[in-house]
Structure 1
């Protein structure tokens, strides 16, 4: 009996234990289901948020594209209209591009680039772009363009940076960008033209002063350019100058006297080239051959002509002065005359003693002084005209070894002997 009760009790406990485990498992399953449903709901909410965010950012993105496109379109439209001169009124204005702007430009020619480092090329490009920017602002202020930034962009694409000129230009306001660039890169439409007459007999320093006074270039820059070798291969008339030592200014004598048209603040090399080109056309091969046939180099004839130009009172006087110089050079030593004794050479490259700087005036000795050196000086003392050159090549046939002039009237006196010369000096009021 007791055994049956114990067995029944065990069965009840086993049944109760099974029921409890089932309840636990059921509770766990319920909780797991709720967690799964919560997770799924969270995922659905996140997915919905992501969709909403994507939709929002897509809207922002398209708005930005539309805004940027509108700005770019407006920029391109206004820029292209300005590039093509659409809507610009027709007028002619004067545009001033100062030298202080274009002097910052760096040549980007192939020869120049080869001599520059990468850093130097980058700096040069930046400098040239800055020049273009300043020019664009000048053009905008003058009413030639409306969009300076677009002009700078076009100039860069066209590779025009670094090739602009300073000066005063006459520009039409209805030109497209290409026409504007061509105008300010050329000299055709420049208005700052200066007409200068270079008289016969002017020396280098005097010529430099004349050019500076007319706003064409600085005297210092001009004089420096006269010793350049840049033109040696261009003109046969100066081929032999490099072999001559002692010259103050290599190209003195070859700056042909004439009336020239220059530009204000013109490049010094252009100035010298214009004058050399003129000289080259005047110094014909016939004249140079005539010098050679007489046993002179062309530079010796130019030097002789420069002294004749500086010493003579007029054209007729040139041929007699030339005869004196030729006689001294060819046969002076037979009379113990070894020097030319010409006042025009005493203070060269200055004209007179008063032109010498005050601190050097009392001790100054010119290398060209023909009272001390024998024969011709190393180079010309001024820039002679054709009449003096003709006189140098075709002197009068005389027995003169001396000449002098009355300083007031310009009257010339010639002599064959020293005694005659002394008498002439007294007559001329020089003793």
Structure 2
């Protein structure tokens, strides 16, 4: 008889409880979630604050009103413009304006000039009001007197804030303006436009492009000459350049009323080389042009220059001033006289004209050598 063995069922092995670790994990996850929420809320608050601050600058909000004059130069970069806006308190954040400028192509829209801007203008308004068509772009009316030289004209334009002498000289010497009557005047010397910058009252923008300033005066010259331009051909006795040169002499010599008579003296001397004057114009104004505007001396008569009408016969090398329409008309339609000389009467401040050198000398002795002219 075999022995029976009884086996009691084996109790399953229980796993150890880890209640404490589970609680710790739940607390860590809750803390991380809270930190994330706080981070998101904080970041949102920061971004909202920064965004609001940037929006204030972008949209020109909450700024104290200030009006300033901003000048944009021809060769000024967009970065330099931004610096000026920052310096004048028109913007707070240069990088933000740079970003807006890149997005809106502001660099292509801003034009040289002088503008009146204010802190009520947002970024878009600032760019718009620095464009070529801006109503805030400041203008000035300038009168160029008859007889001003090109140097005097350029100095006046610089003095009034239109542009600089240096830029005007550069654009006069080196820019090829599209006028057929200028084609024979070689580039390189700014004096080539002497005589053609028509004296008149002009409206210019402050900080204007020098090329535009000169072109505006040349357009005016062509307009004023009108139908007269048609008479200058290769067969003409006098070219346009000759006529403007003669007109410039008349403008500098006239007493204000004797344009046509002065013109007759010049033509008589030019065309009658067998007369006492032998083809010499002997006009003191050409010496003044050479010596920088001083009263001419005997020494000046020896200056070796094609502008010296005491040393060289005929017309000077070119105009010595920018003549007005009265002088140009006199050069085109001189009076018919037999005068070769004139002298200023100091009592009347008018010229007296004579035919011979002896008659001229008699008047010189009467009025004094300081009044000797022509």
Bin for the TM-score computed over the shorter chain: 0.7 to 0.9
Q: Structure 1 stretches of 5 or more lacking a match?
A: 1-40, 107-127
Deviation at 1:70, TM superposition (A): 4.4
Aligned residues: 349
Deviation at 1:343, TM superposition (A): 0.8
Question: Is residue 189 of structure 2 the alignment partner of residue 242 of structure 1?
Answer: no
Provide closer, same or farther for how the CA distance between residues 63 and 366 of structure 1 changes in structure 2, counting only shifts above 3 A: farther
Counterparts of residues 124-273 of structure 1 (less than 5 Å): 128-140=78-90, 149-161=95-107, 163-171=110-118, 173=120, 175-186=121-132, 188-190=134-136, 192-230=138-176, 232-233=177-178, 235-242=179-186, 249-273=191-215
Contact 1:345 1:369 in 2 (8 A): yes
Deviation at 1:167, TM superposition (A): 2.2
Provide closer, same or farther for how the CA distance between residues 134 and 223 of structure 1 changes in structure 2, counting only shifts above 3 A: closer
d(CA) in 1 for partners of 2:230 and 2:49?
70
1:343 pairs with 284, 289, 297, which one? 284
Match of 1:320? 261
Give the match's secondary structure for 1:167.
strand
d(CA) in 1 for partners of 2:232 and 2:37?
85
Question: Is residue 322 of structure 2 the alignment partner of residue 383 of structure 1?
Answer: yes
Deviation at 1:388, TM superposition (A): 0.4
Provide closer, same or farther for how the CA distance between residues 252 and 318 of structure 1 changes in structure 2, counting only shifts above 3 A: same
Provide closer, same or farther for how the CA distance between residues 336 and 96 of structure 1 changes in structure 2, counting only shifts above 3 A: closer
Deviation at 1:341, TM superposition (A): 1.1
Provide closer, same or farther for how the CA distance between residues 300 and 98 of structure 1 changes in structure 2, counting only shifts above 3 A: same
Structure of higher CA gyration radius: 1
Contact 1:309 1:318 in 2 (8 A): yes
d(CA) in 1 for partners of 2:331 and 2:87?
56
Give the match's secondary structure for 2:146.
coil
d(CA) in 2 for partners of 1:361 and 1:419?
24
Give the match's secondary structure for 1:240.
coil
Q: Structure 2 stretches of 5 or more lacking a match?
A: 1-17
The structure carrying a bigger helix percent of its residues is 1
Give the match's secondary structure for 1:367.
coil
d(CA) in 1 for partners of 2:55 and 2:206?
34
Q: What RMSD in Å do the two structures reach over aligned CA positions?
A: 4.0
1:353 pairs with 294, 306, 312, which one? 294
| Bigger Cα displacement from structure 2, 175-184 vs 72-81 | 72-81
Deviation at 1:197, TM superposition (A): 1.8
Match of 1:34? none
